[in-house]
Amino acid sequence: MSGNLILVNSRHPLPEGLDVPPDLSVTDGAALRSEAAEALKAVLEHIGAGDRIALVSGWRSREEQEEIYAQSLRDSGPEFTAKYVALPGCSEHQTGLAVDLGLREGEIDFIRPRFPYSGICQSFRLAAPKFGFVERYPAGKEHITGIAHEPWHFRYVGLPHSLIMTESGLTLEEYLGEGSGEA
């Protein structure tokens, strides 16, 4: 699958030649593919987020993903890194369709930003599917995605896919019939 439904995980590395999306747009310091950036801006405006939600991370180059992975290994060890940091070439961030969000309060953890199931964060979570976004790594689906629960990580899949996935409780792997994301 390609386009907004491209599946990138440990079993489906990013295909060669797709390291830099052709249509990156910068929104609040985070680069995303233009369609995803416009949709993100629209949902944030729709919920009146103002400056309460921070865009922690959008598109990453392979080199940046390599640095993040190596730093996490050094700082937090292999068990933590395997749960929360994708291998270079296996990160959705390299597609320009994924964004990590955090509640803007004090210092924000780059790897695991706080994005609670309440307040403005929950307002975003509820509105996001109407704008093409899904919470990519939900609790209870770790055995399918191969990634720990990440309430801060959202993926642009576009409409109507986001509505169908959310209403059906499906991960991208399930929606595409790909089974487990684990290697």
Q: Would strands 53-57 and 98-103 be described as parallel, antiparallel, or unpaired?
A: antiparallel
Bridge-partner residues for 26, per DSSP?
Answer: 31
Find out whether 82 and 10 touch, Cβ atoms under 8 Å: no
Of the residues 35, 38, 92, 150, which is catalytic? 150
Among residues 154, 126, 161, 123, the alpha carbon closest in space to that of 138 is found at: 154
Look up 167 and say whether it is catalytic.
Answer: no
Contact status, residue 56 vs residue 149, Cβ threshold 8 Å: no
Residues recognised as catalytic: 150
